[in-house]
Amino acid sequence: MTERDATSWSKAKLQEVLVGIVVENEAGRCETSELKRVEGTMKESGAKHKGLIEIPSLSEENEVDDTEVNVSKKKGDGEILKDLMKTAGTAKVREALGDYLKALKTEFTMGMILPTKAFTNQELTVKRKLTENTLQIQASSPVALGVKIPTVALHMTELFDTTVEQLYSIFTVKDLVQKFSKSPAVLEAEKGGKFQMFDGTITGEYIELLINRKIVMKWRCKNWPEEHYATVALSFMPTLGQTELQLDCKGVPICKEENMKFCWQKQHFEEIKCLLQLITLNS
């Protein structure tokens, strides 16, 4: 699988969905001939008119039908073209941008593209200017879109034959973490403290620690999109001589859902049970 930079992908996809848009009625016709250009003509006179269409922002969080599209032109004839762009033109632009967002979400889900830091923080700005010969679309450079990474929430529970105190310590004591993970670890088990496990494959920060009750962490895997963290909460529940561990995780990239389940079930829960057996045998 090849992962591509989101900014270059966006430029190509916007080119694909915006070029070739045609709006037409009995009085006039406009067609996008390239990403930054639309040709607009009055049918009866063949006259060209100046105007502007601006899309202030576009976000995956909002409905495309709610996307603001501002249309304006210089005073004079050609109001029919302005009306055409405010009605049929707006509808087709929104439809094209909807296709763009659907494709973007699909690509993220498949893990084909990863966002750069700049990409996730910027918004798309598209401006269309109707000159004497052309209606131009001007996009901010680089073209980028503020979009949330598609994520899922996970809930898992597991029973351990040990006390709450023992299980809590396995997640907060460096020596025990290194034993069940079978790899070097760095732990600062306090609020705001950093942690690193599995030779740096897993990193994060402690948000909250309630001794023997709960641990909340910012948590990420090395191959996740840059600077994206999930929130992992571990709740320790004593029950009939055992401890029930409840895992609640929010913000897992959709394309990493199965990997996340494997990580916790196989690399955490099962390895911790093996460690507990060794501790019991040696005690």
Query: What's the pLDDT score for residue 107?
Result: 61
Bigger pLDDT: 198 or 16? 198
The Cα–Cα gap between 40 and 47 comes to: 9
Query: What's the pLDDT score for residue 137?
Result: 38
Lowest mean pLDDT across 84-93, 162-171, 186-195, 251-260: 84-93
Query: What's the pLDDT score for residue 9?
Result: 67
177 token code pair: 């973490």
Percent of the chain with pLDDT over 70: 71
28 token code pair: 């006039």
- Beta partners for residue 22, in sequence order: 31
The Cα–Cα gap between 261 and 157 comes to: 11
pLDDT, tens digit, 9 for 90 and up, residues 29-60: 887 776 666 678 888 888 887 666 666 666 55
70-73 β-sheet, strand order: 22-24, 28-34, 37-42, 135-139, 126-130, 51-55, 70-73
122 token code pair: 């910027």
Query: What's the pLDDT score for residue 149?
Result: 75
Work out the pLDDT band at 243, boundaries 50, 70, 90.
Answer: very high
Query: What's the pLDDT score for residue 102?
Result: 76
pLDDT, tens digit, 9 for 90 and up, residues 174-214: 999 999 999 999 999 999 999 999 989 999 999 999 999 99
Q: Is 236 helix (H, G, I), strand (E, B) or coil?
A: strand
Helix, strand, coil % in the chain, rounded to nearest 5: 35, 35, 30
For residue 83, what are the contacts with CB-CB under 8 A and spacing of at least 6? Answer: none
The Cα–Cα gap between 95 and 84 comes to: 16
Q: Does 152 have pLDDT greater than 80? A: yes
Distances (CA, A) of 260 to 111, 201, 211, 249, 271: 14, 12, 25, 10, 15
Q: Is 90 helix (H, G, I), strand (E, B) or coil?
A: helix
Query: What's the pLDDT score for residue 3?
Result: 43
Contact 232, 221 (CB under 8 A): no
Query: What's the pLDDT score for residue 132?
Result: 38
All CATH 3.30.530.20 domain ranges of the chain, comma separated, are: 151-282
Work out the pLDDT band at 76, boundaries 50, 70, 90.
Answer: low
Query: What's the pLDDT score for residue 139?
Result: 38
In 35-103, at which residue ranges do the beta strands (DSSP E only) sit? 37-42, 51-55, 70-73
Angle at 252 between CA 246 and CA 253, to 5 degrees: 160
Which CATH number describes the domain made up of 151-282? 3.30.530.20
